[in-house]
Structure 1
C-alpha cells in the first residue's frame, strides 16, 4: 500500500469512527458563550496571525523532509515539458503566453512540505506584498470592497433642523394660532419654510421637513387637537406637553462636517453605502476585489445531468465562484480544462487574474499536471502540502510578484479545506479585509484526531445547559462529501489526537449568515453511515 493509499484509508476510518450523537438545534453564535481563542498552536486567530513555528529544523528533526518533491537539476529541465526527457518542447516559446511580471523575490524560505496548518495559513496571509492599489469609483461599485481611506463627513448630519414626526411646528407654549387651514399640507420634506414662525403660532409639518426658524418643538399629530373659535380663528391645543426640542432632530445630531465616520479598512456594506450617500459622497476610494480565475481540471467531470460511465458531476465549479465572492474576490466563470499539460500551461500563463485557483491535479499521479506546470512557468512554490485532513495535497505558488496560484485538491470537502486554509488568507491580504474574530467553542461530542495532522470537521451550533453554545460534529465529512458542510455553521479545528466532549476547539466560521433548518434524516452523527 502506498503512502497516499494509506492516508486515504486512514481518513475514511477516522470519518467512520466518530461517535453517534443526535443533531440539535443550531443557534446564532452571537447568542452563545464564545471567548477569544487560545489553542493548541498558541494564541489562535483562525484567519492567520503571526506566531512562532518550528520551521525547517523541526521538519528535518522529524525526518519528514523525505516526502518533499525533488526539483529538476537545471533550469532548462524545469521549464521543459515534463513528459519530454530531452528537456525541449514541441511548442515554440514565442507561441506561448508569458506572465506579465517577472517572478518575485522570495518572502521567506518556504518550509519543507508538508507544513503545519497554522504555518500554511500564515504563509498564505503574507504571500502578497499588500492590498491591491486603491481605486475611486461610483458608490454602486464599492459594495463588498474595503475603504482605502477614512470616511469623513462632507456635511453636517442632518444638515438642518429636521422634523422627526408628522404634526405641527410650534413656537412657545400653547395653545397656538394656526397660520394655515387645518386641511393645508404645511411644510413638506424638500421645501424650505417661507418665513420664521412667530411666538404663539403653529404650522403643519411633515416628517423630514426643515423646521422653520423660531419653532421650539414639533407636536405630533396624535398629540394635538385643532379647534375653531367663535371669532373664526383656528387654535391648536396640546393633549400632551410639548417641551422645547421635542421631535426635532437638530442640525449635526449624527455628525459634524469633517467627522471621521468609518476608519480605513472598513468593509463597504449596504449600510455603509447609505451612510456615504447621506454624508455627501458620490464616489468612494476603495481597495478592489481581487480578480480570480478558476480552472476546474479533470476529464471525468460532467457539467450536466447524472453521473454515468465512470464520470461524475462537477461540484466545485458551481460552488467556488459564490464562495470566493463571499471571501471578497471577483471570480470569473469557472473554466473546465482537460487533463492536458499544455492546456493547463497556456491557461495559467495567459491568465491576468490576481489569483489563479485550480481544482485537482495537485498530487503526483499520471494526470496531475499542476506541479510540472508551475516548474515550467518558473513559479516559486510557497506551500507544497499541508498537515491537514482533508486536503493535505493543497499548494500555494507565486507565479509573479503580484500573481499567485492556489492549487485545491479535487475532492469537494478537501477543496473547501484548501480554500479556507490558503485562498482565504491570501484574498484577505489583497482586499485589505480585516481578520474575523477568533472563537473557541466546546465540542458537543468527542472527535477522533489524526495522529499527526490537524482535522477540519463541519459542525453545527447547539445549546447546552452546562457549556452554553457548543459545536456539534456533523456526519458526512469525508474528503469527497459536501453533505456535512452544506448544513454546517463552521469548521472545527481539531488538533492531532482529537478532542473529547467539552474540549474547546477553534472555529472557522463560514463567510455567510445561514438561516438554520433541521438537518435531514441521517445528517447528524446518529442515524446514517458515510
Structure 2
C-alpha cells in the first residue's frame, strides 16, 4: 500500500490573491479550518514539508518556511524557492484546496508509481482541467524542469514546467478557491460552528468574511476605513528647518548684532543672515538663510547697540527643528491593516499625503425586528417601546463602522427574505431580534434560503448565546443579535469589530484586559457579558444581576466585561469599553 512517508511536499501559500481582494487566502476558513491547515493535514505524513509564502509564527517548527523572490512572483517561483530532493517523490499542492486529503495525494502517488516512464502525475478536476498545483512529481524530474528555466522563474505559467511524460488522475479534492464565489460555494454545505467562547467566534467570523475591494480615498474622507497599503510620507517633517521657540535666529557663535527684520510663522519675506547677525523669530517660522541656530528668549540679553549675547548661566542649545527631524520622505507612518482614525488622518496630512489605498468604512444597515416594537406614538396593549433602534447607530459607530440606514421589520413570513434581497448597497446588516428558534424567529430560515454561509451558529456566552453571524453569497455580512437591549448591545460590541476586521482586513486589536475584583460572585458556566465599572485601584467590578430589557443598567458603567468560566477574584478578564460622549 502506498504511503506518503518517503515523499516530500511543497505547499504554495503565497501569491497576491488579486481576485480575492488581496486577502491572505490560505488563512480563510472552510468547514471550521484554515485552508492552509487542511493542506498541511493532507501532507502531515511526508518526510519533509515546506510552505512557500509569508512567514507564519503559528506553524509547527518542523515545517520549513521559505519565501519566493520576488514576493508574489507566482507558483513557479514558489516551487523554485523550496528545497527539493532529486531522490524522492515530491507532492506539490496549493493552499486554496480546502477538500484535499491524504487519500487524494496517495492516488496521485499510485499513478506515478504505476507508470515508470511518467515524470509527474497531475490531478484532473470535474471539468477535465489539469491541476498543476495538485501533483506528484519525481524529484529529479521537477528539479530538471526548474533548472531548464535558467533562473527565469518569476511570473512563469505552470505550463512552463509541464514534462514530456506525465499521467493524469481524476481525483476528489480539486475544488479550489480563487474567487469569492468559489469560496462561497466551498462553504455552502457548512452549517456553522458553535464556538467554544466569544474569542473563537470572533476569529471564525474574521476568517469567514470576504474583504471589501481596495479603493483610493481622499485622506480627509477616510475615517473608519482600513489601510490596504502602508501609509508612506510624501514629504519631510518639518519640510524645512523651523524655530521650535520664540527667540532669535543667529548665525555663528556670537555675540550677535540684532537686525531689524522679524521672521514670523508663515512669512515669505526673504532675508539672509551673515556671520554675527541675529533676527527675531517666532515659533514655527522657517529659519532665514545663513542661520545656524535658534536661541530662545530667556537665554539671551540685549545690550547697547542691539548686541545680543547668550547668558552665561544657560545651556548652549539649538532650539531649531531641522528638516526631516520627525521623518523623511518614504518613512512608513502606518502599516497596512491599520484602522484609519483621527491620528492616522492627521499623520497623513502632516506627511503631505492626499489620498490612500483603503478598504471601507464598513456600511451597516440596522434592523430592529418584532411586531411588538413601536418607535413613535402611544403604546398599544402588548407593545414595547423601541428604546434601542434610535441609539444603536451610536454603538455601531463606536465599533468603527458607518450606520448608514435603519429600519423596523415586522414579523412576516417573507420580511427577512425581502430585507436580504433588497438591502444590497451596504456591507453588513445588523439585525436585532428573530435569532432564536421560536415561531416568530424568521432570520435563520431566510439566511438558509439565500444560500448564506453560517460562520457562527451560536456562542457560549450569556447573554447573547442565540446570536448568529452569516455571509451572504455577495459577501455581505449578517450579524443577528438577541432582542433584549442589553444582550444586543453587549453582543454587538463584542462581535461587530470582528466583522469590520474581516471585511476591511484590519489588524485585530489586542483585547484590553484588567483584573476583575468580584469574579467569584459573577462567574458562570459559560462566558458572561456583564456591565462593569472601574474602582479607584484600577480593578473592575461587575454587576451580577442585570435587567436586559432596557439599557438603564449601563448608566454609570464604563464597559462590558467578558467573564470566562472558572474566573477567580483578581483574574484578568477582557474589558470592552462602552461609548462615551
Scaled by the length of structure 2, the TM-score of the pair is: 0.63
Report the counterpart of residue 569 of structure 2 in structure 1: 501
Given that residues 363 and 393 in structure 1 are in contact (C-alpha distance below 8 angstroms), is that contact kept between their aligned partners in structure 2? Answer: yes
Alignment of 1:342-357 (within 5 A): 342-352=414-424, 353-357=426-430
Contact 1:327–1:428 (CA under 8 A) maintained in structure 2: no
User: 1:220 and 1:256, CA in 2 relative to 1: closer, same or farther beyond 3 A?
Assistant: same
Q: Is the 8 A contact 1:391 1:409 kept in 2?
A: yes
Give the 3-state SS of the residue equivalent to 2:283 in structure 1: coil
CA contact (8 A) 1:103 1:398 kept: no
Structure 1 window deviating more from structure 2 (486-495 vs 390-399): it is: 486-495
Cα 1:390–1:482, aligned 2, differ >3 Å: closer, same or farther?
Answer: same
- Number of residue pairs matched by the alignment: 402
Q: Tell me, yes or no, if the aligned pair for 2:225 and 2:339 is still in contact at 8 Å.
A: yes
Is 2:240 the counterpart of 1:160?
yes
Q: Is the aligned partner of 1:206 residue 2:282?
A: yes
Aligned to 1:252: 324
- In the alignment, the residues of structure 1 paired with residue 455 and residue 256 of structure 2 have an alpha-carbon distance, to the nearest angstrom, of 78
Superposed CA RMSD in Å reads 3.0
Task: Output aligned runs, 1:68-467, within 5 Å.
Answer: 104-107=184-187, 109-111=190-192, 116-129=197-210, 131-180=211-260, 186-192=262-268, 194-229=270-305, 234-239=306-311, 246-304=318-376, 309-352=381-424, 353-445=426-518, 446-451=520-525, 453-464=526-537
Q: C-alpha separation between the residues in 1 aligned to 2:331 and 2:199?
A: 40
Moved more, 369-378 or 389-398: 369-378
Q: 1:242 to 1:136 in 2, by over 3 A?
A: farther
Structure (1/2) with the larger strand percentage: 2
CA distance in 2, matches of 1:260, 1:113: 40
Q: What is the CA-CA distance between 1:480 and the residue it aligns to? A: 2.2
Q: Give structure 1 stretches of 5+ with no counterpart.
A: 1-48, 52-99, 516-530
Residues 1:358 and 1:50: Cα distance change in structure 2 (over 3 Å): farther
Cα deviation for residue 243 of structure 1 reads 7.0
Tell me how far 1:273 sits from its aligned partner: 1.9
Tell me how far apart the structure 2 counterparts of residues 249 and 406 of structure 1 sit (CA, whole Å).
50
Structure 1 residues 404 and 322, CA gap change in structure 2 (3 angstroms): same
The worse-fitting range, judged by mean Cα deviation, of 285-294 and 418-427 is: 418-427
Contact 2:530 2:544 survives alignment (8 Å):
no
- TM-superposition CA deviations, 1:222-249 (whole Å, max 9, x none): 44444454xxxx4334445787761111
CA distance in 2, matches of 1:404, 1:208: 48
Aligned 8 A contact 1:193 1:210 in 2: no
Instruction: Name the SS for the 2:307 alignment partner.
Output: strand
Q: Distance in 2 between matches of 1:201 and 1:376?
A: 82
Residues 221, 355 of structure 1: alpha-carbon distance in 2 compared, 3 angstrom cutoff: same
Answer yes or no: is the 8 Å Cα contact 1:149–1:264 preserved in 2: yes
**Residue number in structure 2 paired with 1:58:** none
CA contact (8 A) 1:493 1:505 kept: no
Q: Write the distance in 1 (CA, Å) between the matches of 2:522 and 2:313.
A: 68
Alpha-carbon offset, residue 340 of structure 1:
1.3
Supply the distance in 2 between the matched residues of 1:179 and 1:421 (Cα, whole angstroms): 64
Distance 1:163 1:372, change over 3 A: same
Q: Which moved more, 1:118-127 or 1:402-411?
A: 118-127
- 1:195, distance to aligned residue in structure 2 (A): 3.9
Q: How far is 1:401 from its partner?
A: 4.5
Aligned to 1:482: 551
Aligned mates of 1:435, 1:389 — CA distance in 2: 23
Other structure's SS at 1:105 match:
helix
For residues 104 and 243 of structure 1, do their structure 2 counterparts lie closer, same or farther at Cα, with a shift above 3 Å needed?
same
User: Which ranges of structure 2 fall in alignment gaps of 5 or more residues?
Assistant: 1-56, 60-179
